[in-house]
Structure 1
Amino acid sequence: MRAINIAFHFLLLFFAFSALAQTSTDLISLDAKVKGSKLEISKGTEFKITDRPLYDNQPDFINDKQMAFSAADEKGNYDIIIFNFESKKFTNLTKTGERNEFSPTLTDCGLYVSAVTVEEDGKQRLWLYPTNFGEPELLYDDIEPVGYYDWYDNKAAMFVLGSPNSLVYPYSKSEVVTISNNVGRSIKTKPKSSIITYIDKNMSKEINGEMAYTLKGYDLEKRSHIDFGYTYPGSEDFIWLNKNLLLMGKGNSLFVRKPNESEWHKSGEVSMPGYLNITRMAYSSKLKKLVVVMERD
């Protein structure tokens, strides 16, 4: 039975991460700032943070000058790396041969970088890694396999892999609420709110031959659902630039819209020879930096 369970977890991991892990991706930064309902991108400011034929992905700003991301080494191990925009230097937050870490995000308290960790036996759970490089701690030992997540009120809303994938929130140890089923991989807390946002794949429509899914919110305080319209067709990764503006990418282009609008508006393109297909993104309003993940052509 143990062998079967381990095999099952690895199969879920395959669906969660293999599509990204098999693709060589780099992190590219641009100078960008939000002005009203627009994202202004400074042409010619493209900078390759990483430049290797391996997996560098899932960026997230953790303070005013540093960004965390997941990276593969030549042996196929995945660790959390910290990049400093001032010094342009990299530091390993984790260096574990027996575990793999994905999806780093700063916790609400600011003392940890959390990560989805694939353990030695295949379990896929949320761990906390102290920013002072102390010993990591397991969180939610009974909630797994976790794929993606975001924070609110020092608790994590988690995408749990299954048939279908679900989005859950642990109000307490005894009350783990299922927010929705059949959700997409982007789980984001709307800034300055108690709303967790996600892509609901139960509702979709075809636009110019590509699928657009509904973008939903769930107010964790009011315990009510909110409709934010449809995603950009053919794209499944979004972020909030602020509480009033959403960002998605498709190909080499970036698109924004207000949550109460229906039309997406093109903000610009990322012109970097040898790269295509924007996926993950991260934005720092203080640094005025946008970081995008792109595939090596």
Structure 2
Amino acid sequence: MKKYVAFFWLTTTALVYAQADTEIYLFDLTNTTSSITLTNPKNISNNEGYDNQPSFIDDDTIIFSSTRDNQTDILKFHITQGGAKTWITDTPTGSEYSPLKIPDKNEIAAIRLDLDGLQRLYRYDISTGLAKEMITDLKIGYHVWVNDQELVCTVLKENRMDLLLVDLKDASFKTVATDVGRSLHHIPGSDAISYINKTKDQWSIDSLNMTSLNTFKVANTYNNNEDICWLGPEILITGTGKGLAIQNVKENNGWEQVIFFEQEEIHHISRIAINKSGTRLAFVSEVSPRTIVQQQLDAYNARNIDGFLDAFSENVELYTYPEHLRGTGKGYLRKQYESFFETTPDLHCELKNRIVEGNTVIDHELVTANGKSFTAVAIYEVENGKIAKVTFIR
């Protein structure tokens, strides 16, 4: 039996503090028969807004979706060129997501979501950014390439996604599985694609043989986390919140957490990617709860209603301690705070103390408004990178 022992070594480079929403972290990866080691951590996005869906063009180049000017374009990060960045796309009428290199082409494919809601798969020349729609009439969510003419993709069907095999030569497609997740990967050393099967309460990682189109279960997901990747032909890796876990599918011994990140910047790991030679690993981390709470505090003091609301989830709940519900939703927040911001020029909240425990942030505050000051305690609960619940104590 192979024993995997993980060591997370953080001695040479400090993590850059995440600014907002999601960030992408890149590591050097050493994977042996007895250990997995991550070194040389870098925040390669370090950008306010949405940064997500990393994938490797080659061993030394990574692409991902990144926010600029309220749109999401595809950014290329050159690992061995001092971290130089190049924008591949610039689409004023839409945003691009989930970029992947097209085999044997100087092109990538990405999902494009236009401002009018149209969602299609496009191809983009890496050098020029020239775009061309690839498949009409299919609302593709995620994809993986079999070769330069065939791909496996998820297609939105009512309230689920189905798995399709698409042949670009004749624009034909075939449904091979129903109710699947977003994580699609080549299984190293095989002619198979892994996907997430959501047909049962316990989600599983299944294999699709690209010759026979037969499917079979490989392993259960970790707590229904659909973001996985392959470290090798037999080893899966997934996020566990602030950690990483592996499973040897041949030994079928379940998931074993091997890395836990003490750093506050790392929170709710998702979207793991590994380069072809297995020497680099990237993942997406949600903004830390401390950061999102500070974002709303800064916007509160600036009396910036839009910036303030941006820190909250759509269905945020506001309570007075212990459990008296005051209101729900961003609409309620806007109604409560917009005119208050406009008519209270001396409004200021001074942070006296802050405690962070998991996804909960407790702030002791001194609030000044209309010439008067009072102390208060606010308990913030963060979910999916946004404040989902606030409890006020006066």
TM-score tier, shorter chain, comes to 0.7 to 0.9
Contact 2:58/2:276 (CA < 8 Å) preserved in 1? no
Distance change (3 Å), C-alpha of 1:117 and 1:222: same
**How far 1:267 sits from its partner (Å)?**
2.3
State the alpha-carbon separation in 2 of the partners of residues 288 and 229 from structure 1: 25
- Gap regions ≥5 residues in structure 2: 1-19, 289-394
State the alpha-carbon separation in 1 of the partners of residues 182 and 115 from structure 2: 24
Q: Which TM-score applies when normalising by structure 1?
A: 0.83
Matching residue's letter, 1:253: G
Q: Which residue does the alignment assign to 2:130? A: 135
State the alpha-carbon separation in 1 of the partners of residues 262 and 284 from structure 2: 13
State the alpha-carbon separation in 2 of the partners of residues 32 and 134 from structure 1: 31
Deviations 1:256-294, CA, capped at 9 Å, x for gaps: 112332411222123433331001111125472211110
**How far 1:295 sits from its partner (Å)?**
0.8
**How far 1:81 sits from its partner (Å)?**
0.1
* Rg larger in structure: 2
Contact 1:60/1:68 (CA < 8 Å) preserved in 2? yes
Q: Which residue does the alignment assign to 1:9? A: none
Superposed CA RMSD: 1.9
Q: Which residue does the alignment assign to 1:294? A: 285
The answer to whether 1:201 aligns with 2:214 is: no
Matching residue's letter, 1:102: Y
Q: 2:163 aligns with which of 162, 167, 190?
A: 167
- Gap regions ≥5 residues in structure 1: 1-22, 206-212
State the alpha-carbon separation in 2 of the partners of residues 38 and 113 from structure 1: 33
The answer to whether 1:124 aligns with 2:115 is: no
**How far 1:30 sits from its partner (Å)?**
1.9
Distance change (3 Å), C-alpha of 1:291 and 1:131: same
Q: 2:255 aligns with which of 243, 247, 264?
A: 264
State the alpha-carbon separation in 2 of the partners of residues 29 and 175 from structure 1: 37
State the alpha-carbon separation in 2 of the partners of residues 162 and 249 from structure 1: 27
Matching residue's letter, 1:218: L
Contact 1:152/1:194 (CA < 8 Å) preserved in 2? no
After TM superposition, list the pairs within 5 Å mapping 1:45-64 onto structure 2.
Answer: 45-64=40-59
Q: How many residues align?
A: 264
Distance change (3 Å), C-alpha of 1:174 and 1:94: closer
Q: Which TM-score applies when normalising by structure 2?
A: 0.63
Contact 1:33/1:285 (CA < 8 Å) preserved in 2? no
Q: Which residue does the alignment assign to 1:224? A: 214
Q: Which structure has more RCO (C-alpha within 8 Å, separation ≥ 6)?
A: 1
Q: 1:235 aligns with which of 225, 246, 249?
A: 225
Distance change (3 Å), C-alpha of 1:29 and 1:197: same
State the alpha-carbon separation in 2 of the partners of residues 296 and 117 from structure 1: 25
**How far 1:60 sits from its partner (Å)?**
0.4
Tell me which moved more, 112-121 or 181-190.
112-121
Contact 2:246/2:255 (CA < 8 Å) preserved in 1? yes
Q: 1:275 aligns with which of 266, 280, 285?
A: 266
**How far 1:37 sits from its partner (Å)?**
6.8
